[in-house]
Structure 1
Amino acid sequence: MPSIQLAALAFVASLGFVSAFPTLADGRLDVRAKWCAPTETDSRSPCPGLNTLANHGILPRNGRGLTQPAIFEALSTAYNLDATGAAFLTNATASFLHADGTFELHDLALHNAIEHDASLAHDDVAAGEKYAPVETNTTKVDLLMALSSDGLTFSESDFALAKHIIERNMATPLTARQQSLADQEPPLALNVFGFSREDGSLAMTLKTLESVFKYNRLPDGFSPSTTPVSIAAVGASTARMVARKQALNAYGLL
């Protein structure tokens, strides 16, 4: 962890910031910016969180001309990721940078770079295709929501069940790296959009899940967590979810 933190600090120090995002009078990024569905010519990624930022105009609505400082600022301000977490995720875009230092959201759909099969909201890549689909499979999200254990919320255990089901049906299992990425995505969403339950685990409302995963839209009334989202917090949630998934795998749920 210290090495990640040091690398993140070095990365942050290398960034220069010129904000072009909707801001409030006190300079904070306005997460209430109007949502607009993407047009056919807008660039989008397999990541609901980044697509959501573009749909609200927090990132450029066309999804193009993105810079690493812009991504870092959006993740830090709109989602309140701490500096280490925001830098870690921002640095993952380095391999997609064009000669002018920018990239577009669709670049992130390059198959098996950071994108992977077994998505909870998108179809797997078709045979022979270089890029994965970025269109939301709304039927898939509806079926995901139906796995809620109480019909009101979606918990770490619910995500574990969903991932157990979708991953056990894969013809080719995810690699260790892909599995690690896939396992951290629901916990990150839970830390950004969810809440803590009495037992310390995390959950989000079904309406929030639908808003973010199905429509790539900030939930009504959303405001960033008052506590910065840290790598440690995401890691703890990931450990709980993976433990539950492993229990399901061991039992051989039918």
Structure 2
Amino acid sequence: MYDHKFVPANPGDSRAPCPALNALANHGYLPHSGRDIGLLQLIHALRHVYNLSLPFAFMLSFVGILLCGHGFFRLDLQGLAAHNRIEHDGSLAHGDAAPGNRFAPIPVNKSMFHTFLVYAALGQGIYLEDFMRARVDREAQLQKPLDSLRAQIGQGEAALAWLVMRDDDGKIPLGWLEQWWGEERLPDTWTKPHRVVGILEARTKANVVADGMAKLRLQDQFRRKC
């Protein structure tokens, strides 16, 4: 199904706290080492595998390399773990950065990931509404609330994950999530979105996530008062 077979990361390979990019490296769409990735390489991989529009792929790649890259506009995936640049507290599958640490944990936190999977509707898959509920509950556990920018990044991550991985019924099947986030590989029966995913669609869906989370928080407050 894919141009490249799945090969897990070797010791010493560079990886990010981002399963989508790690999967690209593990399948060889990015250098398997995860090191010295160029802007055009990253843009091409995002477009080819996840069917992002050229402007959207360019924006994500440019910002990632600008904020977390090195040298002459190159990126090692582990650079994306730099705390509070793009990475932020409140991940659904990765631990928060320890106080004073410049970098966040990179490996998937299995306990957190399995807690997230519990939000699956009827045990079948994750709908966008399930992402909202999971994010509200996860952010409620933080000692310090996310600032506006990091909150928006979290909402955008949920929206983009849903947009690129959802099936025709509007959910991400649990098996796909377990392979994509849990094993950092492209799911066996998944195919990339039929339509190109652009900036406007992603921004609109992130706003849906933000509005949904705000409503859930109000509902939670009302229940506590009652």
Instruction: Tell me the TM-score normalized by structure 1.
Output: 0.83
CA RMSD of aligned residues (A): 1.5
Among 142, 145, 150, the alignment partner of 1:178 is 150
Whether 1:136 and 2:108 are equivalent positions in the alignment is yes
Counterparts of 1:156-175 in structure 2, within 5 Å, are: 156-175=128-147
Whether 1:89 and 2:56 are equivalent positions in the alignment is no
Q: Give me the identity figure in percent.
A: 30
Determine the structure 1 residue equivalent to 2:177.
209
Determine the structure 1 residue equivalent to 2:210.
242
Greater alpha carbon shift after TM alignment, 107-116 vs 225-234: 225-234
Counterparts of 1:86-125 in structure 2, within 5 Å, are: 86-92=57-63, 93-125=65-97
Whether 1:78 and 2:61 are equivalent positions in the alignment is no
Distance (Å, rounded) in 2 between the aligned partners of 1:133 and 1:104: 15
Alpha carbons 2:66, 2:73 under 8 Å: kept: no
Among 218, 221, 236, the alignment partner of 2:186 is 218
Gaps of 5+ in 2: none
Superposed displacement of residue 225, structure 1: 1.6
Alpha carbons 1:76, 1:82 under 8 Å: kept: yes
Aligned residues, how many? 221
Alpha carbons 2:68, 2:85 under 8 Å: kept: no
Determine the structure 2 residue equivalent to 1:47.
18
Among 181, 186, 189, the alignment partner of 2:161 is 189
Alpha carbons 1:31, 1:58 under 8 Å: kept: no
Superposed displacement of residue 40, structure 1: 2.1
> If each structure's helix is expressed as a fraction of its own residues, which one has the higher value?
2
Greater alpha carbon shift after TM alignment, 206-215 vs 151-160: 206-215
Distance (Å, rounded) in 1 between the aligned partners of 2:52 and 2:208: 20
Superposed displacement of residue 244, structure 1: 2.0
| Local SS of the residue matching 2:60 | helix
CA displacement 1:183-237 (0-9 Å, x = unmatched):
100110111111354xxxx421111111111111101133222210112222232
Distance (Å, rounded) in 1 between the aligned partners of 2:121 and 2:164: 21
Alpha carbons 1:156, 1:240 under 8 Å: kept: no
| Local SS of the residue matching 2:176 | helix
Alpha carbons 1:31, 1:223 under 8 Å: kept: no
Superposed displacement of residue 46, structure 1: 1.0
Superposed displacement of residue 72, structure 1: 0.3
Among 32, 38, 43, the alignment partner of 2:9 is 38
Instruction: Tell me the TM-score normalized by structure 2.
Output: 0.92
CA displacement 1:122-181 (0-9 Å, x = unmatched):
000011111100010112111111111221010111001100101011111111111111
Alpha carbons 1:96, 1:108 under 8 Å: kept: yes
| Local SS of the residue matching 1:178 | helix
Superposed displacement of residue 109, structure 1: 0.6
> In the alignment, residue 202 of structure 2 is paired with which amino acid?
V
| Local SS of the residue matching 2:215 | helix
